[in-house]
């Protein structure tokens, strides 16, 4: 459905899309007045590329008071919710269905952290960019063609952001997420990171215990290791009851061990296909809260 007034639902909508969110203290009351009807999302880059870019977006510059956008998208795919009210980000320009030179009162701004040359986007950041825009547009009842716009496409002042992003392809991906919804969408890069990190942390000590039991029952896999109970009981014969018991236990342990390894490998392959890197390289995002 269409929405009029401030988007106080921003944090919830982004989280429901599987994205990592940091809510800055006071964001619901921050802004330069209240929205009219919300018609879309304007995509920007910060042109800084550092970890403190959000400070300029929240507090502004000497020539322009903050907030300068409702959202900041970090390079690790985390969204910072800066403000719910109107922000100074659009400038002068036009887009079909948007008021000329007055988009600030009608569109949500996302400032994605980047140096602004188009060569430093991370895969997890781009994935979160598309999913975040899709979640917002779905909430306000707009399609990607209607409501997903680059600052350079809107601006009559020579803006170039977000540099390096093909907006036609970007909009196609955004529309895919809108059409399929969260139930049918693939896991986001952030969700893959969280699942993999959890499994790795949880299964680490268990994996070690499994290896110890496996060595006792079946012998070590490396040369010179304990031959294990398999050599003592000749588990392969499988006739005496004690041999059958130990053989069954050994098979069970090996099956569990193999399933854990298969699961971690599968998650790694999923992340490689989506982002070009292994899940083991992805740190678990940490939630935090920043005071104004």
Check if the beta carbon of residue 62 is closer than 8 Å to that of residue 5. Answer: no
Cα distances (Å, whole numbers) of residue 278 to 16, 37, 112, 130, 266: 25, 42, 24, 21, 10
- Residue 193 is predicted with a pLDDT of 65
- Residue 154 is predicted with a pLDDT of 98
Residue range 149-205, pLDDT digits in tens: 999 999 999 999 999 999 999 999 999 999 997 554 556 566 666 666 666 665 555
- Residue 163 is predicted with a pLDDT of 98
Residue range 54-102, pLDDT digits in tens: 999 999 999 999 999 999 999 999 999 999 999 999 999 999 999 999 9
- Residue 267 is predicted with a pLDDT of 66
Task: Tell which wins on pLDDT, 180 or 264.
Answer: 180
Cβ-Cβ contacts under 8 Å for 152 (sequence gap 6 or more): 159, 160, 161, 162
Is the pLDDT score of 281 beyond 60? no
Is the pLDDT score of 265 beyond 80? no
Task: Tell which wins on pLDDT, 196 or 230.
Answer: 196
Residue range 30-67, pLDDT digits in tens: 999 999 999 999 999 999 999 999 999 999 999 999 99
Cβ-Cβ contacts under 8 Å for 210 (sequence gap 6 or more): 253, 256, 257, 260
* Span of 108-117, 170-179, 263-272 with lowest mean pLDDT: 263-272
- Residue 181 is predicted with a pLDDT of 73
- Give the pLDDT mean for 239-250: 60
Distance CA 93, CA 91 (A): 7
The average confidence (pLDDT) of the chain is 81
Is the pLDDT score of 113 beyond 60? yes
């Amino acid at each position: 459905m269409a929405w009029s007034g401030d988007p106080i639902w921003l944090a919830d909508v982004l989280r429901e899309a599987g994205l990592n969110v940091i809510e800055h203290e006071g964001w619901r009351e921050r802004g330069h007045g209240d929205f009219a009807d919300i018609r879309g999302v304007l995509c920007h880059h910060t042109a800084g590329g550092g970890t403190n870019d959000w400070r300029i977006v929240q507090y502004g510059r000497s020539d322009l008071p903050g907030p300068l956008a409702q959202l900041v998208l970090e390079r690790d795919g985390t969204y910072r919710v800066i403000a719910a009210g109107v922000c100074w980000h659009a400038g002068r320009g036009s887009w079909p269905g948007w008021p000329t030179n007055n988009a600030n009162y009608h569109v949500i701004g996302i400032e994605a952290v980047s140096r602004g040359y188009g060569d430093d986007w991370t895969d997890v950041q781009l994935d979160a960019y598309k999913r975040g825009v899709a979640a917002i547009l779905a909430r306000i009842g707009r399609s990607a063609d209607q409501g997903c716009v680059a600052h350079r496409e809107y601006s009559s002042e020579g803006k170039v952001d977000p540099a390096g992003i093909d907006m036609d392809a970007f909009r196609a991906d955004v529309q895919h997420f809108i059409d399929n919804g969260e139930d049918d969408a693939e896991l986001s890069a952030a969700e893959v990171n969280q699942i993999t990190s959890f499994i790795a942390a949880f299964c680490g000590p268990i994996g070690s215990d499994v290896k110890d039991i496996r060595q006792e029952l079946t012998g070590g896999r490396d040369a010179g290791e304990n031959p294990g109970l398999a050599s003592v009981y000749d588990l392969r014969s499988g006739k005496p009851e004690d041999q059958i018991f130990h053989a069954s236990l050994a098979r069970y342990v090996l099956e569990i061990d193999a399933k854990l390894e298969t699961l971690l490998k599968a998650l790694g392959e999923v992340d490689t296909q989506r982002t070009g890197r292994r899940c083991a390289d992805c740190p678990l995002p940490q939630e935090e809260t920043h005071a104004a």
